[in-house]
Amino acid sequence: MFHLRAVSILSLCRMAVAPPSYCFVAFPPRAKDGLVVFGKNSARPRDEVQEVVYFSAADHEPESKVECTYISIDQVPRTHAIVLSRPAWLWGAEMGANEHGVCIANEAINAREPAAETEALLGMDLVRLGLERGTTAKEALDVIVALLEEHGQGGNYYEDAHACHSFQSAYLIVDREEAWVLETVGKYWAAEQITEGVKCICNQLSLTTKIDAQHPELRSYAQSQGWWTGEDEFNFSEVFSPADDHLDCCAGKDSLEKKEESITVQTMIDILRDKAGGVCIDSESFLTTASVVSVLPQNRSSPCIHYFTGTPDPSRSIFKPFIFVDDVKLVPKAQSPCFGDDDPAKKEPRFQEKPDRRHELYKAHQWARAVIESDQEQGRKLRKTMLELEKQGLEAMEEILTSSDPLDPTEVGDLFYDCVDTEIKFFK
């Protein structure tokens, strides 16, 4: 009994480390054909299911509230259409996009100041709120920091009744013109604007002395805590990182910066699949449970295209395209079952049970993963066919991006639906 207890305590200690997720952005001319390319691997507890969900734009009654993962806040008059990849038990998202070509990814961060365990907004809630309320990357940033000031961040990042895993948050917020790296510690924050080259962020603070926007009291707060003298140059990550943090953040940064050729969707997908380089996580505690790559053409007459896996381990998953149009067909097969008010995540004390949140795509994909892992010959064939399916999708999207004809919305409204359907049938 003692041995088991010791093992579980050890695993809890390990789990308190922020999961090693990675997100990336590349701008022209490093990215090809005037495209901004965004990518994110979501590393989460191994058994967690992520779903891909779409919400159409909506008008809301005056003074109505929106129920986030743990708290309710004031709703705005109108929310934008969004598509999210999210852990199936919570309201927010690890990553997603909106109809205006804004993409946001979240990173859990360990900082010098421990994150609050008190239930407030999760970093993942702020991803969704930024997408619902921001028409540009900068607008989304302004939304996030205003809500952070008003409501704070805190609460359990995992569906775990035995321990509270709370983290500070960092965000990569991207649109067709620019990106913002936003890093937060409690309600305090700093942000850097990026309009060229490549950028990677992971589970450590990365901002240094180039700060383009910040909380008005950021520096005085650091001084009051004795973390900054006020005389040296202000270096955000040196001031706010834990003492034991070695600031070599990105395994991913190297893989992106070393690419000598132009960065394309395929390049970004290959980087997200990189297990040897540590970008694709498959460890005892964590797994890359979902991935996304988005292409944001700087030419506004071309549509933004978002490729979601909706399944774990991008090296064994298919990236499937989604395009915003007025009449998007919902994809129940990539959505987890809904437990309503009976969901153990919504009842206090929370997480007393763990319901089966696997959706149809996840279940079909579990079979494929098992085959790839166990049977070398059949597994190789299966993976080859999966990559061929993906390639067909990528080539069809390439045609849309290079075509001079306007997009026909009726042709792409059920794009993601059809891709998920084909994938499930193929696994069966």
* CATH code of 313's domain: 3.60.60.10
- Is the residue at 117 inside a domain? yes
Whose tokens are 């061929």? That residue is 388
Query: What phi, psi does 342 have (nearest 5°)?
Result: -85, -5
Q: With contact defined as beta carbons under 8 Å apart, do 179 and 137 qualify?
A: yes
Maximum C-alpha span of the chain: 68
Domain of residue 332: give its range: 22-342
C-alpha 136/C-alpha 236 separation (Å) is 25
With 50 as the cut, is the pLDDT of residue 5 above it? no
Is the bond leading into 29 cis (omega within 30 degrees of zero)? yes
Confidence of residue 8 (pLDDT cuts 50, 70, 90): very low
Task: Give the pLDDT score at 79.
Answer: 98
Q: What is the tens place of the pLDDT at every residue in 15-30?
A: 468 888 999 999 999 9
pLDDT at 428: 78
According to the model, what pLDDT value does residue 257 have?
Answer: 75
Average pLDDT over residues 323-352: 96
* Count of the separate structural domains present in the chain: 1
* pLDDT at residue number 12: 41
pLDDT of residue 243: 80
- Does position 32 have pLDDT exceeding 50, yes or no? yes
What CA–CA distance (Å, rounded) separates 89 from 355?
9
> Quick one: CA dihedral 3, 110, 97, 67, positive or negative?
positive
DSSP helix/strand/coil, 41: strand
CA distances in angstroms from 140 to 175, 288, 418, listed in the order given:
10, 26, 31
Kindly tell me if the per-residue pLDDT of 2 is higher than 70.
no
Cα(203)–Cα(185) distance, rounded to whole angstroms?
A: 13
307 occurs within a structural domain: yes
Q: What's phi and psi for 328, nearest 5 deg?
A: -80, 135
Q: In this structure, is residue 209 part of a structural domain?
A: yes
**Kind plus residue range of the DSSP H or E element containing 424:** helix 415-427
In DSSP terms, 322 is beta-bridged to 306
What angle, 0 to 180 degrees and rounded to 10, lies between the N-to-C axes of helices 360-374 and 415-427? 50
- pLDDT tens-place string over residues 269-285: 999 999 998 999 999 98
Q: What is the pLDDT of residue 250?
A: 59
Yes or no: say if 194 and 174 are a contact pair by the CB < 8 Å rule. Answer: no
Whole-number pLDDT of residue 9: 36
Per the domain annotation, does 315 fall within a domain? yes
Asked if the structure places residue 199 within a domain, the reply is yes
Give the mean pLDDT of 381-409. Answer: 95
Portion of the chain with pLDDT greater than 90, in percent: 88
| Segments in 210-333 forming alpha helices (H) | 218-224, 236-240, 251-257, 265-272
Number of other residues whose CB lies within 10 A of the CB of residue 415: 21
| Mean per-residue pLDDT of the chain | 93
pLDDT at 44 over 60: yes
Is residue 89 very low, low, confident or very high in pLDDT (cuts 50, 70, 90)? very high
CB-based contacts of 234, cutoff 8 Å, min separation 6: 209, 211, 219, 222, 228
Give me the mean pLDDT over the 304-311 stretch. Answer: 98
Q: What is the pLDDT of residues 126-167, one digit of tens each?
A: 999 999 999 999 999 999 999 999 999 999 999 999 999 999
Fill in the DSSP letter of residue 30. Answer: T
Question: Residue 263, Cβ neighbours under 10 Å: how many?
Answer: 24
- 209-261 pLDDT, tens digit per residue, is 999 999 999 999 999 999 999 999 999 999 999 987 655 555 666 777 777 77
Asked whether residue 425 is domain-assigned, the answer is: no
**Section 337-345 average pLDDT:** 96
| The residue count for the chain | 428
**Which of 84-112 are b and which e, b meaning 16 or more Cβ less than 10 Å from the residue's Cβ?**
bbbbbbbbbbbbbbbbbbbbbbbbbbbbb
Q: Is there a domain that residue 285 lies in? A: yes
- What pLDDT score was predicted for residue 185? 97
Q: Do 275 and 282 touch, CB atoms closer than 8 A?
A: yes
Rg (CA), the chain: 21
Residue 379 domain-assigned? Answer: no
Active site positions, annotated? 23
Nearest in space to 312 (alpha carbons), one of 97, 41, 109:
41
**How does pLDDT run across 237-246, given as a tens digit for each residue?**
999 999 876 5
* Residue 292: both structure tokens together: 């996304």
Query: Mind listing the pLDDT tens digit for each residue in 59-70?
Result: 999 999 999 999
Nearest to 47 by CA among 372, 383, 356: 356
The share of the chain scoring above pLDDT 70, in percent, equals 94
Question: pLDDT by residue (tens digit) across 98-122?
Answer: 999 999 999 999 999 999 999 999 9
More confident residue, 312 or 245: 312
